[in-house]
Amino acid sequence: MNVIDLLLKLLSFESVTPDDAGSLKFIETYFEGFEVTYVNKEGVKNLFLTKKFSEGPHLCFAGHVDVVPAGDGWDTDPFVPVIKEGKIYARGSQDMKSGVAAFVQAVKDVDHFEGRLSILLTSDEEGDAKYGTVIMLEHLKEIDLLPDYCIVAEPTCESVFGDAIKIGRRGSINGVLMLKGRQGHAAYPEKALNPIHQISPLLDKIAGVHLDSGDDDFAPSQMVITDIRSGMEVTNVSPGTLKMMFNVRNSTKTTQEEIKLHVAKHFADLDHTLQLAQSAYPFVTSRESKIVGKLVESIEKVTTVNPKLSTAGGTSDARFIAAFGIDVVEFGVINDTIHAPNECTSIKEVEALYNVFKETITHFNT
């Protein structure tokens, strides 16, 4: 079986979060001579395959076999992969069964490695991820088997295969601000305290503002207003309360405390409450890390493209891996149809991704 045959097989599993649909068992049986560990909880399955070839560093490839629901608008059955004009159409073809197929086949085809190789797979990355990669990492820590380096095969490229590696990710902080006024008749505004009027002159101080100046790795953390609602949808009653929701994709330079101080500065004289919740924490792997250098070398050799080192985009399981002190990077196919109808990737990209991973493994210690 080659990497394309393997991808077609993986795409045929209807593995909508958190159901792996038998795909993890299939991958387990695809290997010989690897130690097998499952850590499963609350319907989520997590598989760890590892083999020590010799003394040396521990290199892990990580990813997820689960996909988002197919939704409507497909031209073909989303769980029956179709090849058309050099592209493979199916749910998960970009996010991220192409990456899984590439590193599974690359690891399987390795005869020798100076160190330990492993594969970590979960069936819950697209969901809450509460019982996914993180609980396997906790187990590996308990048995002293955490990797030194890790590659997550999320789709990272932007317009040309090989053009981007993610060396970090921004965090995500969600905020809910409640502003209390006093309801009244619209004809007597002097008897009311309208929270819409109160917040209006403040919007340019909070909406879209940069909370830090960014740095070489991260763009500035920005306060993005996602929802404002108030009133009863009538024209003769001014509202008594206002609810504003926002999100900050934060760099390592902005924390919840800085956000609290920023809001307090502008709302100090108003009756308000603020709730913040951090769903993901930012991380960055040093540009000087061995895993960054080796992956860049492999991409350049296979594609002749010099990849940029990026931290853009949303969150991924790399955030959990980094929290355990592991140098982690992400690299995969072009990201332009993930979660969309008729999701697809090209055969050429998948084969190139396999070659990049094979090259990285082969020359990791040279």
CA distance 157 to 166: 9
The two tokens of residue 219 are 């763009």
Catalytic entry in 20, 95, 124, 125? 125
CA distance 15 to 235: 49
The two tokens of residue 148 are 């030194």
Can you state the percent helix, strand and coil of the chain, rounding each to 5?
A: 30, 25, 45
CB 21 within 8 A of CB 14: yes
Buried/exposed code over 223-255 (b: 16+ C-beta within 10 A; e: otherwise): beeeebebbeeeeeebbbebebebbbbbbbbbb
Catalytic entry in 19, 20, 66, 343? 66
257 is catalytic: no
Alpha-carbon distance values, 187 to 19, 235, 273 (Å):
57, 10, 28
66 is catalytic: yes
DSSP letters, 253-314, are: T--HHHHHHHHHHHHTTS-EEEEEEEEE--EE--TTSHHHHHHHHHHHHHH----EEE--SS
CB 74 within 8 A of CB 37: no
Residues with catalytic roles: 66, 125
